[in-house]
Amino acid sequence: MWQFSPPTRFGTKYRDAIVSARNVHLYTHANVCEVEANEGLSAVDGLRVRTLDGNEYRVKARSYVLACCSIQNARLLLASNRRANTGLGNGNDLVGRFFMEHFEMPCGELVLEKPRSTKMKMYLLDYGTTKARGEFSLSPRVQEQYGILNGTASLDPGALGEPVKSTFEFIPPSMLKAIDEWNKGGRHGPIPLIASLPPSALSPPAGPPRIFHVMTRQEQAPNPNSRVTLSTEKDAMGMPRANLDWQFTELDKRSMRTYYKILGQEMGRTEVGRVQLRDWLLSDDRTWPSFLSGGWHHMGTTRMAADPKQGVVDANCRVHGLGNLYVAGSAVYPTAGPANPTLTLVALSLRLSDHLRTKLA
Ligand SMILES: Cc1cc2nc3c(=O)[nH]c(=O)nc-3n(C[C@H](O)[C@H](O)[C@H](O)COP(=O)(O)OP(=O)(O)OC[C@H]3O[C@@H](n4cnc5c(N)ncnc54)[C@H](O)[C@@H]3O)c2cc1C
């Protein structure tokens, strides 16, 4: 299930709380250009900060947390190379590697044998004040059986061969109204994926849809060759820009194709419908289409592992070898999973703040 949050403007919602907090100092327009390590490379001594006006100053603290997201965290560590030639925390050449995204790819069409308006509630639902949507996924047992990655498929009503549109354009007003009433009836609990609404409430005026675009959302396999490195080009602060080389494996594509093979077989076996795949998915596992897209979910680059030879940060998100440098964010994910990344990275950040509070006390 997906549940969509109403938009939250961070500045509007949290500005007063942050500015008036006695234990928080907020500096804006402050670009960290270097994380400065001590001579023994065992801890961080300070941060070098620059503004666009050319001012430069240093920030000192007992502990430091990088929270600049996956590409910038890696860039900052790699560019902090005055004492450590290959960058901070990069003794094992792992900083910047294992960059991951979530594939978001139109993969084909599901054509139903006959309209099933009372049961097809896989597309958008109103849920309280927010929107929700169901997606197909394979059970962990089947994923394991086929040795494939984790992914889901969403359904958007449409026509064969047409360009894929956004889900939001297809919600019949009658359906939204019916679900709103369902919710107002106090039946909040689990989201009513297959609720017993009258068929008339679910049918769009032109008749219930029979054809759905299927859109994949899938994790990619952790891949050391998918990586962030430093460019020779510099930005206005004199800092090297980031280069991103987003790379895939054959498993990434094979997982997508296998997923739809299983979905198609099950749709056929149960006489629900047929799945038709897009041409790009049927070609070999090394060829990718030009319209490749992701979910703007950047993960990896400082992955977590107990062994410094396998990852950049330890279980407490501390950079191996540096006593007081931490990373907060999806950069620490060793694998991506198919779910959106932010709730998990917030949970990890809260866990890190608990750890730091205990340590500093
Ligand atoms: C269009 C879009 C849609 C998305 N939708 C979803 C969604 O539906 N669900 C979901 O879970 N996730 C979604 N994401 C991903 C989500 O935005 C990220 O997972 C999340 O913002 C990461 O939080 P963060 O605090 O780690 O990094 P960020 O939010 O990227 O914050 C990093 C901050 O560090 C600052 N910074 C960077 N470098 C420096 C430096 N050198 N010095 C000082 N400051 C620096 C940046 O300015 C920025 O403010 C979406 C992303 C995009 C772009």
Domain count for the chain, please give it. Answer: 2
Q: Specify whether 134 is located in the same domain as 85.
A: no
The residue nearest atom 8 of ligand 1, judged by CA position, is: 340
Q: Which residues line ligand 1 (CB under 6 A)?
A: 31-32, 67-69, 72, 76, 296-297, 329-330, 340-342, 345
Pocket test for ligand 1, best of 78, 219, 239, 296 (most atoms within 8 A of CB): 296
Q: Specify whether 14 is located in the same domain as 130.
A: no
Nearest-atom number in ligand 1 for the CA of 72 is 38
CA of 355 to the centre of ligand 1 (A): 23
The residue nearest atom 43 of ligand 1, judged by CA position, is: 31
Per-residue confidence in pLDDT tens, the chain, 361 aa: 888 777 789 899 999 999 999 999 999 999 999 999 999 999 999 999 999 999 999 999 999 999 999 999 999 999 999 999 999 999 999 999 999 999 999 899 888 887 765 445 555 666 677 777 788 999 999 999 999 999 999 888 777 666 654 333 334 455 445 545 544 554 433 223 222 333 333 344 456 678 888 999 999 999 999 999 999 999 999 999 999 999 999 999 999 999 999 999 999 999 988 998 988 898 899 999 887 888 999 999 999 999 999 999 999 999 999 999 999 999 999 999 999 999 999 999 999 999 999 999 8
Nearest-atom number in ligand 1 for the CA of 30 is 43
- Residue 292 inside a domain? The answer is no
Q: Specify whether 264 is located in the same domain as 148.
A: yes
Pocket test for ligand 1, best of 27, 72, 228, 346 (most atoms within 8 A of CB): 72
At 274, give phi and psi (nearest 5°).
-130, 150
pLDDT at 189: 34
Nearest-atom number in ligand 1 for the CA of 31 is 42
CA dist 285 and 136 (Å) reads: 23
pLDDT at 122: 58
Q: Specify whether 135 is located in the same domain as 189.
A: yes
CA of 235 to the centre of ligand 1 (A): 20
- Residue 22 inside a domain? The answer is yes
Q: Specify whether 261 is located in the same domain as 197.
A: yes
Report which residue type is found at 254. R
CA dist 156 and 340 (Å) reads: 19
Record the pTM: 0.87
Q: Specify whether 129 is located in the same domain as 41.
A: no
CA of 3 to the centre of ligand 1 (A): 19
Q: Specify whether 127 is located in the same domain as 15.
A: no
pLDDT at 234: 97
pLDDT at 143: 97
SS3 33: strand
Q: Specify whether 121 is located in the same domain as 269.
A: yes
pLDDT at 6: 76
CA of 74 to the centre of ligand 1 (A): 14
The residue nearest atom 27 of ligand 1, judged by CA position, is: 69
- Residue 293 inside a domain? The answer is no
Nearest-atom number in ligand 1 for the CA of 67 is 26
Q: Specify whether 315 is located in the same domain as 169.
A: no
Q: Output 82-88 pairs: Cβ under 8 A, ≥24 positions apart.
A: 82/34, 82/36, 83/36, 83/37, 83/39, 83/41, 84/37, 84/41, 88/35, 88/37, 88/41, 88/44, 88/319, 88/322, 88/325
Q: What is the CATH number of the domain that holds 34?
A: 3.50.50.60
CA of 214 to the centre of ligand 1 (A): 28
The residue nearest atom 34 of ligand 1, judged by CA position, is: 68
Q: Specify whether 265 is located in the same domain as 188.
A: yes
CA of 50 to the centre of ligand 1 (A): 21
pLDDT at 256: 96
CA of 157 to the centre of ligand 1 (A): 31
pLDDT at 181: 59
Q: Specify whether 115 is located in the same domain as 86.
A: no
CA of 342 to the centre of ligand 1 (A): 9
Q: Specify whether 39 is located in the same domain as 180.
A: no
Query: What is the DSSP-derived secondary structure letter of residue 186?
Result: T
Range of the domain at 18: 2-92+299-360
C-alpha separations of 64 from 36, 127, 311 in Å: 11, 40, 19
